[in-house]
Amino acid sequence: MPPNLTLIVAATPKNGIGKNGALPWPMLKKEMAYFARVTKRVPKSQTSTEESAPKRNAVLMGSKTWSSIPPRFRPLKDRTNIIISSQDRTSLPGVTDEVIVSSSILAALQDLEASVEAGRVPAVGRVFVIGGARVYGDALGLECARSVLLTRLGREFECDTFFPELEGWVRRGRGELEEFVGEEVVEGGLVEEGVGYEFQLWER
C-alpha cells in the first residue's frame, strides 16, 4: 500500500494558486513559515524509538514547482525532495544525489520506498504534495490522497493556475487541524501585507 498523501496549498476564494509560474500575492512570511514547519514536522506517533530509524517527511512536486524554488533553498531542507518530471534528472536544475526524480506519483512512491530500503534516504514520515496544479490534480485522483492542508486567502488575485475543487471532501474543525499539524492555530486566521488568510484541514 502506498503511503497516505497530504496536499498542502494556498489558494484564493476561487482556488487560484499562481500566475506566470509565481505566487500572485505578496510574500506572506508567516504563511511560508507555517508551510516549512508543518512539512518538516514528523508526527509524534511516527518519531523514532530506540528500535526504529529516525523518520523524515517527503515533499513531492512537479518540475515547474522545483524550478520556482530559489536555488539557495533547493532542495528543501530537512525533507526528502521528490520531483515528478518526464525529463531526465540531469536536465533539471540543482538536483542533488538524494533528490528522487520519477515519471509519476505512484512511480515516485515506489522509488521512495526503494530509496529508503537502500539507505539513500531516511525512513518516511508524511508525504506532502506541494504543487503545481497538474500534480495536485493527479494526487487528488489517487485513493491514498487523504488530507488537504489549505491556506484559504481572504480575497482574489489574478491567477492563471488553479487548484481543483474539493468535491466530496469535508472540512475539519480547528482542534482536528491543530492535532494534525502539531501546533496551535490562531482562531479567525491571520493578516499579512493586507491579506487575510486562514489555515484549514480537509479530509475525504
Q: Where are the domains of the chain?
A: 5-9+30-38+54-203
Amino acid 50: pLDDT? 46
Which stretches in the chain have pLDDT values below 70? Answer: 46-52
Closest by CA to 203, choosing from 121, 130, 148, 161, is 148
DSSP state of 69: S
Query: Using CA atoms in the order 25, 130, 140, 11, what is the torsion angle rounded to 10 degrees?
Result: -10
Annotated catalytic residue 98: no
Annotated catalytic residue 201: no
Residue listed under C-alpha cell 506566470:
20
Please tell me the CATH code under which domain 5-9+30-38+54-203 is placed.
3.40.430.10
Contacts of residue 168, Cβ cutoff 8 Å, sequence gap at least 6: 204
Q: Each residue of 37-86: pLDDT tens digit?
A: 999 999 987 655 545 678 999 999 999 999 999 999 999 999 999 999 99
DSSP state of 24: S
- Active-site entry in 5, 7, 28, 31: 31
Amino acid 120: pLDDT? 95
The Cα–Cα gap between 43 and 111 comes to: 23
Closest by CA to 203, choosing from 177, 185, 183, is 177
| Residues found in the chain | 204
Amino acid 2: pLDDT? 82
User: pTM for the full model?
Assistant: 0.94
User: What three-state secondary structure class fits 161?
Assistant: strand
Rg from Cα positions in the chain:
17
